[in-house]
């Protein structure tokens, strides 16, 4: 178990890689088949592109509009990253404070939970008026509010769902509340925090684009989609949607990578079985 020879280790690594690649084969095959079927159906039934454009058409529009869409996507990303960061920082801070000090929990939690009831569609036009028209801060605000709740509530849950065994163990060591917090509660909360982050990253892109629909700078994905849809140039709108999805997947992937890095010890990420 401990003294695996280099050659053997190399072999396991190669077979592991092969195994991993094989794992993705079904998804890749399905993806290609789906595209082919989509393209075939559109051509066979002569579907109008305002109903559903063919993938080839979306692809060629994406190439054509690349620089415009990329510029819009860049601006949307700024809103997403700004809002996501603010929402996550706020959510984690509120969670930490409310679990660490009981009085704070009683005071803050009802209001924190109330933010979840806030309909973001209703909030977007108001936020647009709170800040200068050209400022991305209004969109960031909407994103932050949407992200705040799932991050906060999941982190609270992770911080509080510590087994009685661990609590008694720390008590037997006469650990201070602070030590209990840093050595047990925070590490136990990490899996919850990362699941929340995955949900939040997807939500943040939705929130940003919805907020963009209600006006503001034109060089953003939401406005681009609306403008193209109004002009009945649906393949262009689809190309922008494709890019928005790609951003979502990229965010998700980054979070997944960070998760692997930070908590390789966790059940869901364990590389090998016990020997």
Partner 1 sequence: MSDSPVVRARNLGKTFGKGSDRVEALRGIDLDIESGEFVSLIGPSGCGKSTLLRLIGDLVPASSGELTVNGKSPQQARLDRDYGIVFQKATLLDWRTVTKNVELPLEIMDEEARSERAASMLDLVQLSDFAKHYPWQLSGGMQQRVAIARALAFEPSLLLMDEPFGALDEMTRELMQQEVLRLWQQTHTTVVFVTHSIPEAVFLSTRVIVMSARPGRITDRIETQLPYPRTVDTRESAAYYDKITEVRESLRRGDRQ
Which residue do the tokens 């016990």 mark? 274
Interface map 146-165 toward partner 1 (x if CB under 8 A): -----------------x-x
| Rounded Cα gap, residues 138 and 143, in angstroms | 9
Determine, following the binding rule CB under 8 A, whether residue 219 of this chain makes contact with partner 1: no
Among 166, 242, 248, 269, binds partner 1 (CB under 8 A): 166
Contact between 216 and 134 under an 8 Å Cβ cutoff? The reply is yes
The encoded tokens of residue 128 equal 């647009």
The residue written with tokens 């809103």 in the block is 79
Interaction of residue 171 with partner 1, rule CB under 8 A: yes
Provide the minimum distance between the beta carbon of 175 and partner 1 in the complex, in angstroms, as a whole number: 5
Which helix (DSSP H) or strand (DSSP E) does residue 152 occupy? helix 137-160
> Quick one: which of 2, 67, 134, 230 contacts partner 1 (CB under 8 A)?
2
Residue 63 contacts partner 1 per CB under 8 A:
no
Among 124, 151, 184, 225, interactor with partner 1 by CB under 8 A: 184
Asked whether position 169 contacts partner 1 by CB under 8 A, the answer is yes
Residue 183 · residue 170 · CB < 8 Å? yes
Cα angle, residue 177 at apex, residues 174 and 182 outer, rounded to 5°: 105
d(CA 185, CA 192): 11
Chain centroid to Cα 135, Å, comes to 23
Position 265 contacts partner 1 (CB under 8 A): yes
CA angle, residues 262, 268, 273, in degrees to nearest 5: 105
**Based on CB atoms, which residue is closest to partner 1, 110 or 275?**
275
Specify the DSSP class assigned to residue 3. Answer: -
Smallest distance, partner 1 to C-beta of residue 197, A: 18
Distance CA 250, CA 40 (A): 29
Which tokens go with 66? 């690349």
Among 175, 227, 233, 269, binds partner 1 (CB under 8 A): 175
Please work out the total of residues on this chain that contact partner 1, with binding judged by CB under 8 A: 24
Q: Cβ closer to partner 1: 167 or 255?
A: 167
179 is an interface residue for partner 1 by CB under 8 A: yes
For partner 1, the closer CB: 164 or 230 = 164
Complex with partner 1: residue 64 or 179, whichever CB lies closer: 179
Q: Are 159 and 95 in contact (CB under 8 A)?
A: yes
Q: With respect to partner 1, which residue has the nearer C-beta, 5 or 22?
A: 5
Burial environment of residue 140 by CB neighbours within 10 A (0 to 12, 13 to 18, 19 or more):
buried
Interface residue with partner 1 among 100, 229, 266, 269 (CB under 8 A) is 266
Residues that bind partner 1 (CB under 8 A): 2, 163, 165-166, 168-175, 179, 183-184, 187, 190, 263, 265-267, 270, 274-275
């Amino acid at each position: 178990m401990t003294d695996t020879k280099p050659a053997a280790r190399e072999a396991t690594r190669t077979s592991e890689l092969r195994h991993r690649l094989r794992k993705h084969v079904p998804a890749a095959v399905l993806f290609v088949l789906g595209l082919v079927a989509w393209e075939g159906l559109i051509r066979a039934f002569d579907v109008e592109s305002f109903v559903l454009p063919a993938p080839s058409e979306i692809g060629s529009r994406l190439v054509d509009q690349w620089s415009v869409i990329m510029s819009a996507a860049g601006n949307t990303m700024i809103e997403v990253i700004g809002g996501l960061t603010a929402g996550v920082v706020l959510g984690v801070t509120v969670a930490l404070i409310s679990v660490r000090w009981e009085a704070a929990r009683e005071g803050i939690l009802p209001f924190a939970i109330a933010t979840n009831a806030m309909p973001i569609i209703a909030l977007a036009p108001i936020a647009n008026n709170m800040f200068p028209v050209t400022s991305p801060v209004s969109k960031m605000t909407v994103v932050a509010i949407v992200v705040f709740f799932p991050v906060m509530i999941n982190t609270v849950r992770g911080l509080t769902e510590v087994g009685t065994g661990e609590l008694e163990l720390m008590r037997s060591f006469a650990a201070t509340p602070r030590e209990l917090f840093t050595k047990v509660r925070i590490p136990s909360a990490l899996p919850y925090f990362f699941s929340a982050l995955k949900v939040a990253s997807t939500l943040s892109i939705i929130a940003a684009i919805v907020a963009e629909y209600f006006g503001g700078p034109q060089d953003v994905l939401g406005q681009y989609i609306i403008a193209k849809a109004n002009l009945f140039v649906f393949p262009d709108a689809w190309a922008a949607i494709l890019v928005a999805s790609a951003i979502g997947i990229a965010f998700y992937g980054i979070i997944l990578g960070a998760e692997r890095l930070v908590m390789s010890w966790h059940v869901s990420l364990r590389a090998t079985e016990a020997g």
